[in-house]
Structure 1
Amino acid sequence: MAHGDSALIESGLQVLKRYASQGETLSYGDLNRELGEPFNLGAHLPGQIGKLCDDITTAHSSATGLKLMISVLVRDEDTGLPGDGFFTLAATLGHLAPTDDADVKRAFVKQQERRVFMVFRPAKASTSGFARNH
Structure 2
Amino acid sequence: MPESDPQLVEDGLEVLKRFAARGATLTYGELNRELGSPITSPSAGFPGRIGKLCDDINKHHDATTGHGFMISALVHGVDSGLPGPGFFALAADLRRLPPTDDVGAKRKFVEWECEAAFAAYRPE
Q: TM-score, normalised by structure 1?
A: 0.87
Q: What do the CA deviations read for 1:18-69 (whole angstroms, capped 9, x no partner)? A: 1111111111110111111111222522221111000000111011221110
RMSD: 1.4
Unpaired runs of 5+ residues, structure 2, are none
Which of the pair has the greater relative contact order for Cα pairs under 8 Å at 6+ separation? 2
- In 1, are the aligned partners of 2:73 and 2:83 still within 8 Å (CA)? yes
Kindly state the Cα deviation for residue 2 of structure 1 after the two structures are TM-superposed.
5.6
Q: Counterpart amino acid of 2:26?
A: L
Q: Counterpart amino acid of 2:28?
A: Y
Compare the two structures and name the one with the higher helix fraction: 2
Q: What do the CA deviations read for 1:75-104 (whole angstroms, capped 9, x no partner)? A: 000000000000111111111111111111
User: What is the total number of aligned residue pairs between the two structures?
Assistant: 123
Q: Considering only CA atoms, is the larger Rg found in Structure 1 or Structure 2?
A: 1
**Runs of 4+ off more than 2 Å:** 1-4
What fraction of aligned residue pairs are identical, expressed as a percent? Answer: 54
- In 1, are the aligned partners of 2:4 and 2:52 still within 8 Å (CA)? no
Q: TM-score, normalised by structure 2?
A: 0.93
Unpaired runs of 5+ residues, structure 1, are 124-134
